[in-house]
Amino acid sequence: MPTERPDPRPPAGHHRSGRRQWAVLGAVAVGLALLLVLALTVVLPHADRNGGSMSTPDATPTPTRVIATRRTAAEAFPGGLAVQPTSVNHPARSESAARTRGDVATANALSVIADQPIATWLTGAGSNADTVRTVRAVLESAQTHQATPTFVLYAVPDRDCGGYSKGGLGTAAYGHWVRHVADAMRGSHAVVLVEPDSLAQISNCPRIGTSRIPVIRQAVHTLVDAGLTVYLDGGNEDRVPVDTMARRLREAGVDEAQGFSTNVSNFYRVDQERAYADRLADRIGGDPHFVIDVSRNGRGWLGTWCNPPGAGLGQTPHVTAGSTRLDALLWVKTPGLSDGTCNGGPAAGQWWQQYALDLVEHRKRG
């Protein structure tokens, strides 16, 4: 009797059952795939591709920031602050003239200003060769005293947006001028403050809204590339919201620089400005340092930025011990130079001796 072998054909209905099983498995697989796609769509946008956290699902990842290593205060201002040579020192020249005519009281009062380190402003007036000569004279004097000179660039295109200090250079001429300045300072320990008001003024001067920041950014890059210690202008505590100023400073190249300056040519007290500067530094990120102009803030804010009556000299300028982000308290504005034709003053930048004497009379003591 032959051995019985299983029928190789599937039983009736087998094909239909198999198809149903595969259909179920396929549906499950499709469902799992859809769940995976949904999870990736929801989760991944919340994580930066560089590993950082992002605040909103549709936020755009930003490239990794490259931030300069900030110098200590002592490294930023080796030897302390340099006093200007007489050739660029308005108070010293006026003091000398007073002594020559025998006016000892006036000379002694003006010496209170002239004997202090004051920043040298470069305004683009005259030729590039004139600017270079000024730079070299200040550098040579500073080198003699083994101290650090501070310069202020103040020639940005459309400077002061038609205000009292209107002027500046054209865009191409400005870039060329900055390169001359940087080359003249290359190899020195000079500190450069870049364009007071330039970023804060964007808020009330729409026509510079798109052109100003690229110009400042290129100037900062040129100066840093020459090995100089650079501070951008950060306005003051009562002018532009911190978030707005932090964004502008980042866009203008503060990550390349030592940091920013505040209160330039203004009158706010140190404690106010320091609190503002710390908030601004925190918002910028990367631990930028800052300097504060204390040249005329001895009486604090007096209701106007333009030649306020009763203003007084601030505390003596000096480099800090370097335990915080505050590098120095500086006399950036030359005490005695007018802010403009307001409150009886001459044109902006002109010497106004009576105002200088009033600043001495009302100075902060101690």
- Residues 6 or more apart in contact with residue 263 via CB below 8 angstroms: 236, 273, 292, 293, 294, 297
Q: How far is CA 48 from the centre of its chain?
A: 28
Over range 28-54, report the average pLDDT.
37
Asked whether 180 and 128 are in contact (CB, 8 A), the reply is: yes
pLDDT at 45 over 80: no
- Residues 6 or more apart in contact with residue 266 via CB below 8 angstroms: 236, 293, 296, 297, 305
The one catalytic residue in 158, 233, 339, 358 is 339
Give me the pLDDT at residue 63, please. Answer: 67
Q: In a 10 Å sphere around its CB, with 0-12 CB exposed, 13-18 middle and 19+ buried, how is residue 198 labelled? A: buried
The one catalytic residue in 158, 160, 233, 327 is 160
pLDDT at 205 over 70: yes
pLDDT digits (tens, 9 = 90+) for 226-275: 999 999 999 999 999 999 999 999 999 999 999 999 999 999 999 999 99
Q: Is the dihedral of CA 118, 120, 123, 125 positive or negative?
A: positive
Report the distance separating Cα 279 and Cα 218, nearest Å: 26
Give me the pLDDT at residue 5, please. Answer: 32
Q: In a 10 Å sphere around its CB, with 0-12 CB exposed, 13-18 middle and 19+ buried, how is residue 42 labelled? A: exposed
Edge-to-edge order in the sheet of strand 318-319: 120-122, 150-153, 191-194, 229-233, 259-262, 289-293, 326-330, 318-319
pLDDT range class, residue 365, cuts 50, 70, 90: confident
pLDDT digits (tens, 9 = 90+) for 251-263: 999 999 999 999 9
318 - beta bridge partners?
A: 329
48 is a catalytic site residue: no
* pTM of the shown model: 0.83
Over range 147-157, report the average pLDDT.
98
| Among 264, 256, 263, 265, residue whose Cα is nearest residue 284 | 256
**DSSP H/E element including 112:** helix 104-114
160 is a catalytic site residue: yes
pLDDT at 117 over 90: yes
CA distances from 251 to 70, 89, 96, 224, 228 (A): 18, 34, 45, 16, 20
The one catalytic residue in 158, 197, 233, 327 is 197
CA distances from 230 to 42, 124, 153, 256 (A): 44, 18, 11, 9
| Among 336, 330, 334, residue whose Cα is nearest residue 293 | 330
Asked whether 254 and 277 are in contact (CB, 8 A), the reply is: no
Q: Is the dihedral of CA 253, 255, 261, 262 positive or negative?
A: positive
One-letter identity of residue 252: A
Report the distance separating Cα 326 and Cα 263, nearest Å: 13
Helices marked H in 145-196 — which ranges? 171-185
Asked whether 165 and 345 are in contact (CB, 8 A), the reply is: no
pLDDT digits (tens, 9 = 90+) for 330-354: 999 999 999 999 999 999 999 999 9
Average pLDDT in the chain:
87
pLDDT digits (tens, 9 = 90+) for 133-149: 999 999 999 999 999 99
pLDDT range class, residue 215, cuts 50, 70, 90: very high
Give me the pLDDT at residue 184, please. Answer: 98
pLDDT range class, residue 64, cuts 50, 70, 90: confident
183 is a catalytic site residue: no
pLDDT range class, residue 43, cuts 50, 70, 90: very low
The region that residue 72 occupies, defined by phi over 0 for left and psi between -120 and 50 for alpha, beta otherwise, is beta
Report the distance separating Cα 256 and Cα 336, nearest Å: 33
pLDDT at 280 over 70: yes
End-to-end distance of the chain based on CA atoms, in angstroms?
127
What values do phi and psi take at 297, rounded to 5? -105, 20
Give me the pLDDT at residue 19, please. Answer: 44
Give me the pLDDT at residue 16, please. Answer: 41
Over range 299-306, report the average pLDDT.
97
Report the distance separating Cα 231 and Cα 258, nearest Å: 6
